[in-house]
Structure 1
């Protein structure tokens, strides 16, 4: 079977899940490639996966340089989450989805099935045009709810490609957390939940704070990182704050409390295994990694699906949700202290960890796709 995985040219969308799934499919004897933009092709290839380079699919950094996006760049430069709260960003780009679909259709690599990550819709359109089944690896379960008139906009794109409205149901949706993560009204049909391979545990701090791989780019003018360092400095616990780049560490002019280590990038999955609390922007990958390690969270969302993820963390009792607007070192320190001292958070996170461990491995997605392909 020829399996084409599709993902936006963003490393965090590709490397943690799609790359290991592609390797598993290759090891099972299937012909596999990941279709994405050129900006991340070398990163994917270093993970041992062939890449179908889509020439017109741009990374956020490349797209952000376009002149028509100058007002967006200016808004980002002025954004201070501790004052204005989470940034509202478009999570569905009609033109990008159409471009992605066109590039996949025009590529010479012809799949028997297309498996896309949640944020990438061009693969879905391409599958419908090519008449092949599609599946979803759900790396952002709560994001579709944020798209205004999503079904109508998707049908408008279908019309441009000569595809009937409504489309066809996905062959399967591969969730990466137990079904209980999904609110009851957001559980897609065909949902099958899986677990990723366990990470090795490394010695680390009691508290880890990280705001994602884009922290240094998004939080340039913000005081949020300084507030985080100051808050953890007020607690008598070893802590690490990932600033997002070595350059950010070298140029740091904020507080340097003795109990807080500043780092650029950290092996987050490994360190979480030894932590008692995780201060996070509530990106789904970080939430998934914390729950897989049984670590409760202090969720401080910044944009996209992070606010609903943070709300879900609170609803499930696996952490607390702290609003960025009006955040201070005192309020953040109090939230971290609460997660460290109230055992209910740790118990809920550990229970979630146990339910994750009971899920079938992600590699079973390949087996299911092959089974359905033979039955078709």
Structure 2
């Protein structure tokens, strides 16, 4: 049955392609889909046959251009500073603007369901005010503390014993505390749109009908428990529109190492050059993709390394023996889905956590973002020479294949849309009167 969906996203680097992948899949099934997004994303939105809509008062940015990036987390001196920029410039600070734009679009052209990228609490607030179902898309590992896992962010190993549990309790409070500075702006946005204030920013993340996690359940901790309204729906494995095109591989028959760092600007040119230098000392072929944030002409490389702005990773991974990545969720999971082990060079954001999960799964190893070419070369050689890494990656590939055999994200969103048609006009857009918050976790 034909339904109308409104998506909301922002120029958030690797978070964009999986969101647009779902929008495109719904459009291909005959639904009416449009996407509220920064103007810098409109070409990519339209490439999927989906209608782009510009934010009018909410921030407009371009994560590939350091001058136009809204967050500029590459300027932060500490992880806390980088987090504060995300909180104040996207999640909470402009929440009223995102809510106003979302609600205005929904009033002008109603939709059955609002689908918001997880960090856009303002957009979710607009959907809640409109009284329609809201789905939140988490494009990485679930980023909030839950029972059965260490607090996410620092890349910790699971705790054991009394001291380990104490560590987790203390760190959970430390990790959640900085969100408090965003609460006044968020609650102001809620009150301005006729909604009651929330006790914490974390509670606001749960004011949705569904949290859809676009990450393999197999990559997370087996005993981790999640909120009742959360669903793991599997990763999106298709390449973004900007990476489309013919695949060119470096000449020769040596093992292929696919390398690439963030698609957004993270001041990564020096790391790209160290990776190129490392591959130049190894008996491999290197395919180094710089992404749209770095001009490939500015990256010097030895003769066995082909440097290009973009390549279809889905195709390249069929030839690759190892992937070197910043441990961005998209590249890491695509590599694992292809059975390719990883060398992770996390630069920040969620990447330390993703790298830790890859290591715990036995499918790769991590080196510092300041690692020398020699250290990177040693890591690549180790992953190439020890078959356990490829076996672990192939095990995860089989589990990911089972997860994505059906499009669970589309099924969940279509179910929300069907349910929406049975509601009375103006009924609240929640499953229950009160959301299931972090203290009310159930097994998913």
Using the size of structure 2 for normalisation, the TM-score is 0.71
Paired residues for 1:190-209 under 5 Å? 190-196=230-236, 204=249, 206-209=256-259
Aligned match of 1:171: 209
Residue 219 of structure 1 pairs with residue 263 of structure 2: no
Residue 182 of structure 1 pairs with residue 220 of structure 2: yes
Partners of 1:246 and 1:58 lie apart in 2 by 17
Partners of 2:286 and 2:64 lie apart in 1 by 35
- Note if contact 1:86-1:301 (Cα within 8 Å) is conserved in structure 2: no
Aligned match of 1:97: 95
Aligned match of 2:7: 5
Partners of 2:98 and 2:79 lie apart in 1 by 32
Aligned match of 1:304: 349
Paired residues for 1:75-154 under 5 Å? 75=75, 88-89=82-83, 90-93=85-88, 94-107=92-105, 108-144=108-144, 145-146=152-153, 148-149=176-177, 152=180
CA displacement 1:175-205 (0-9 Å, x = unmatched): 3333132345574432232353667996746
Partners of 2:294 and 2:264 lie apart in 1 by 13
Task: Give the 3-state SS of the residue equivalent to 2:320 in structure 1.
Answer: coil
Q: Evaluate the alpha carbon distance shift between residue 186 and residue 266 of structure 1 in structure 2; reply closer, same or farther with a 3 A threshold.
A: farther
- Note if contact 2:280-2:302 (Cα within 8 Å) is conserved in structure 1: yes
Partners of 1:102 and 1:362 lie apart in 2 by 35
Aligned match of 1:322: 367
Q: Evaluate the alpha carbon distance shift between residue 303 and residue 246 of structure 1 in structure 2; reply closer, same or farther with a 3 A threshold.
A: closer
Q: Evaluate the alpha carbon distance shift between residue 21 and residue 350 of structure 1 in structure 2; reply closer, same or farther with a 3 A threshold.
A: same
Partners of 1:247 and 1:372 lie apart in 2 by 40
Partners of 1:257 and 1:87 lie apart in 2 by 36
- Note if contact 2:339-2:390 (Cα within 8 Å) is conserved in structure 1: yes
- Note if contact 2:264-2:292 (Cα within 8 Å) is conserved in structure 1: no
* Larger mean Cα displacement after TM superposition, 136-145 or 35-44: 136-145
Aligned match of 2:442: none
Aligned-pair CA distance for 1:65: 4.8
Unaligned 5+ runs, structure 1? none
Counterpart of 2:190 (choices 161, 168, 192) is 161
CA RMSD of aligned residues (A): 3.3
- Note if contact 2:142-2:213 (Cα within 8 Å) is conserved in structure 1: no
CA displacement 1:313-369 (0-9 Å, x = unmatched): 1111110011224x1111111111111111111011111110011114564433333
Aligned match of 1:336: 380
Aligned-pair CA distance for 1:279: 0.4
- Note if contact 1:313-1:319 (Cα within 8 Å) is conserved in structure 2: yes
Partners of 1:6 and 1:348 lie apart in 2 by 36
Aligned-pair CA distance for 1:247: 7.4
Aligned match of 1:356: 400
Aligned-pair CA distance for 1:307: 1.2
Aligned-pair CA distance for 1:51: 1.5
Aligned-pair CA distance for 1:125: 1.4
- Note if contact 1:118-1:140 (Cα within 8 Å) is conserved in structure 2: no
Partners of 2:293 and 2:231 lie apart in 1 by 40
CA displacement 1:89-133 (0-9 Å, x = unmatched): 533332233322221112223222111222332222112221222
- Note if contact 1:34-1:51 (Cα within 8 Å) is conserved in structure 2: yes
Residue 370 of structure 1 pairs with residue 414 of structure 2: yes
Task: Give the 3-state SS of the residue equivalent to 1:95 in structure 2.
Answer: coil
CA displacement 1:124-143 (0-9 Å, x = unmatched): 21122212221122212254
Q: Evaluate the alpha carbon distance shift between residue 73 and residue 17 of structure 1 in structure 2; reply closer, same or farther with a 3 A threshold.
A: closer
Q: Evaluate the alpha carbon distance shift between residue 226 and residue 366 of structure 1 in structure 2; reply closer, same or farther with a 3 A threshold.
A: closer
- Note if contact 1:140-1:284 (Cα within 8 Å) is conserved in structure 2: yes
Q: Evaluate the alpha carbon distance shift between residue 178 and residue 63 of structure 1 in structure 2; reply closer, same or farther with a 3 A threshold.
A: closer
- Note if contact 2:113-2:416 (Cα within 8 Å) is conserved in structure 1: no
Aligned-pair CA distance for 1:161: 1.9
Residue 49 of structure 1 pairs with residue 50 of structure 2: yes
Residue 241 of structure 1 pairs with residue 288 of structure 2: yes
- Note if contact 1:195-1:360 (Cα within 8 Å) is conserved in structure 2: yes
Partners of 2:324 and 2:64 lie apart in 1 by 30
